[in-house]
Amino acid sequence: MTQIHALHRSTSIIPTEQSHQRNQTLKVQAVHNTQNSPMRRTLDAYGIDDNRRRLSQLNQEKYHVLVKKDRSGTPDLTHGAYVSKQGEDDYGNFNWLNPKGLMKYQTKDVAVITFTNKDQLTQLSDTYSETPLPDFLIRTLNAEACLDTHLYRRNASLAQFISPIDHTQHGYLISPNTPYCDAKVLDTYVNAPETLKNSKHGIILCTYAIHPGIQSSFLEARHHQSGSERLEASQQTPQKTIDKKTQIDSLTSILSLKQEHLPQLEKLRQGTLQHLRNVYAVDEHDNTRMFFHFPVAEKTATLHLHTWVNKGDHPLNEPRSFDLDTIIAQLKSGKEISDLVLNRNEGSYFLPTSDSIKNISGIPFKGVHDNILNLPL
């Protein structure tokens, strides 16, 4: 540690309260300024690094991540991470990726599924139609006791039903994605939902398509008309059974969507944005994403829309996320959703090896490969 004396400045430009500092001794620590100029000497004297050149490089990488590490430099995924994505987040703006998502996607290996033709997609759609609705959704529609119905009793505004435009269309039930929220966060949804957009958790909603033929005491209590087919969680009724009884096809994945669904999808978009404004005080300054996953697991094979506000994402999640606007544009162009699926990434999709999707009967599983979509931790 060396010592030098600060340069004397004219008293005419030094504030009175700082005049006693003119002759103080500065302790200069090791700095890394390389610019050979009087500015360098001044910065060195005050122990300041001129890191402008280094800062100018920050936006050149696609992802920037802040993550907790131990003394050896190993990232601790159990604390989650703050992620900033080039082209999506403003400079210096980081969104939180929760530990559950980070640990799920930040993996050494991934399972690869590659669709090469429409017959494979048709077979997968047939498999999805053989599955029942998710158990928790049936319990909600029947107004049975469960985590979700308990949440809605505490704050009814958290669950909103976007009604179908006619008797052939599905409605959509919007609500918080409770499996990804701990008890403390759920309390915030109930008591102060408008604060979530500015919290590290952001807002995470999940919206399920509801077949018009399903009878629902939950929806009837909210003055929404429902169909004649009552579902019991113990029955495990395949969705294709409902289709045969009502002559209306279920929406089991994005593959089910056709041009006749366009007006309802546009109403879904408008209704979701209105719900975000009314309940969560979301505005145009917030980062809002609405997307469907594909492919999906059999246990969740009912069309559902994810809505995220000010939430970080992992690169591995993005290739199989189809934005609602992208789906609408594809249908408006007169093209099929299957074309969109086959053209993305040349039909290849990457999943954590722990995901059950690779085990679906007949799905084109191509083996396990290195995960090249990890965050730079």
> 194: Cβ–Cβ under 8 A, 6 or more apart, which residues?
279, 280, 281
Is pLDDT of 224 > 80? yes
Average pLDDT, integer, range 230-242: 85
- Give residue 5's pLDDT band: very low, low, confident or very high (50, 70, 90): very low
What per-residue confidence (pLDDT) applies to 13?
41
What the block records as the tokens of 14 is: 């030094």
Low-confidence winner among 30-34, 309-313, 354-358 (lowest mean pLDDT): 30-34
Domains located in the chain, CATH noted: 2-54 (no CATH), 60-102 (no CATH), 107-370 (3.30.428.10)
List, for residues 67-102, the tens digit of each pLDDT value.
999 989 999 999 999 999 888 888 778 999 999 999
Question: In which band, very low, low, confident or very high, does the pLDDT at 235 lie, cut at 50, 70 and 90?
Answer: confident
Beta bridge partners of residue 81, listed in sequence order: 67, 97
Q: Which residues contact 124 (CB under 8 A, 6 or more apart)?
A: 253, 255, 295, 360, 362, 363
The tokens describing 201, both together, are: 């958790």
Q: What is the pLDDT of residue 22?
A: 44
| pLDDT value of position 61 | 67
pLDDT of residue 18: 45
| Contact criterion met (CB below 8 Å) for 331 and 261 | yes
- DSSP letters spanning 279-291: HH---TTS-EEEE
Is the pLDDT confidence value at 213 over 60?
yes
Amino acid present at 221: A
Winning range, highest mean pLDDT, from 5-14, 24-33, 361-370: 361-370
CA atoms of 110 and 231, how far apart (whole Å): 36
If you average pLDDT over every residue of the chain, what do you get?
88
Q: What pLDDT is attached to residue 15?
A: 43
- Give the model's pLDDT for residue 272: 98
What is the pLDDT at residue 62? Answer: 83
User: Which of 177-208 are b and which e, b meaning 16 or more Cβ less than 10 Å from the residue's Cβ?
Assistant: ebeebeeebbeebbeebeebbeebbbbbbbbb
Average the pLDDT over 171-197 and give the result.
96
Q: Among 20-29, 43-52, 194-203, 272-281, where is mean pLDDT lowest? A: 20-29
| Mean pLDDT in residue range 184-208 | 97
pLDDT of residue 27: 52
Higher pLDDT, 42 or 319: 319
User: Over 90: is that where the pLDDT of 299 sits?
Assistant: yes
pTM of the predicted model over 0.85: no
pLDDT per residue over 147-177, tens digit each?
999 999 999 999 999 999 999 999 999 999 9
Q: Tell me the average pLDDT across 240-246.
A: 94
Q: Is the pLDDT of residue 313 over 90?
A: yes
Query: Measuring CA to CA, which residue among 141, 272, 135 is closest to residue 213?
Result: 141
User: Residue 28 above 60 pLDDT?
Assistant: no
For the residues 232-247, what does the mean pLDDT come to? Answer: 88
